[in-house]
């Protein structure tokens, strides 16, 4: 069974936020990845599961500073903003309306989201041009896991890398995300990490940098 399909089936179960081993950031990133897979493969179950996972996370927008490196962007606001969970569920509902079983799953997912407590995550919105890198410096508490993820509108291929901030010294790589744009960092002592988001594509992209 495909990993995404397995995750899609699990995501339809009524897990509470505290029972989710992924954490809020992982849940949100996986939800958007499942949804993008569902759109690409016209898989209604993946669409529902992705929207269900994303809908179980309450996002608080926070302002953070970042630096941009690379070619200057030609124009702003050219990319579509990442969809929120309400838009994702509406898309899933429309895609499966002819299937009675999947339509029931949409109703069930919406009912669960209305009664279950939501996990919480913080996010900062940004737009990144083609060929650009953006570096965010984030505080990290020693001994506490810091989850970092990137959510976009699907299919952009944004790359995520996290390194320990070393002042003038060469940074120490802590994570290079592969299958999903998601990293979990655990520092022995409190400090800072430099989070780099890269856009290897040919179009500008809007994204959310998400943390726990």
Q: Tell me the domains of the chain and their CATH numbers.
A: 3-211 (2.60.120.380)
Report d(CA 154, CA 159) in Å as an integer.
Answer: 13
Q: What is the mean pLDDT of residues 186-210?
A: 94
Spatial contact of 13 and 19, defined as CB atoms under 8 Å apart: no
Residue 64's CB is within 10 A of a number of other CB atoms, namely 15
Q: What is the mean pLDDT of residues 140-162?
A: 91
How confident is the model at residue 127, as a pLDDT? 92
The pTM score is: 0.86
Residue 148's CB is within 10 A of a number of other CB atoms, namely 27
Report whether pLDDT(17) > 90: no
Q: Indicate left, alpha or beta for 120 from its phi (over 0: left) and psi (-120 to 50: alpha).
A: beta
Q: What is the mean pLDDT of residues 124-146?
A: 95
């Amino acid at each position: 069974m495909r990993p995404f399909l397995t995750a899609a089936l699990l995501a339809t179960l009524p897990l509470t936020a505290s029972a989710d081993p992924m954490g809020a950031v992982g849940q949100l990133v996986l939800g958007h990845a499942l949804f993008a897979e569902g759109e690409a493969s016209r898989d209604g179950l993946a669409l529902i599961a992705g929207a269900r996972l994303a809908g179980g996370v309450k996002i608080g927008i926070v302002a953070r500073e970042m630096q941009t490196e690379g070619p200057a962007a030609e124009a702003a606001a050219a990319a579509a903003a990442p969809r929120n969970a309400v838009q994702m569920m509406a898309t899933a509902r429309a895609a499966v309306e002819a299937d009675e079983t999947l339509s029931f799953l949409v109703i069930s997912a919406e009912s669960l989201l209305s009664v279950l407590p939501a996990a919480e995550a913080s996010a900062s919105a940004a737009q990144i041009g083609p060929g650009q890198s953006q570096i965010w410096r984030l505080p990290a508490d020693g001994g506490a896991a810091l989850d970092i993820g990137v959510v976009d509108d699907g299919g952009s291929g944004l790359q995520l890398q996290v390194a320990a901030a070393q002042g003038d010294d060469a940074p120490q790589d802590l994570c290079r995300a592969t299958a999903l744009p998601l990293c979990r960092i655990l520092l022995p002592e409190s400090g800072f990490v430099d989070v780099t988001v890269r856009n290897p594509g040919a179009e500008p992209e809007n994204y959310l940098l998400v943390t726990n």
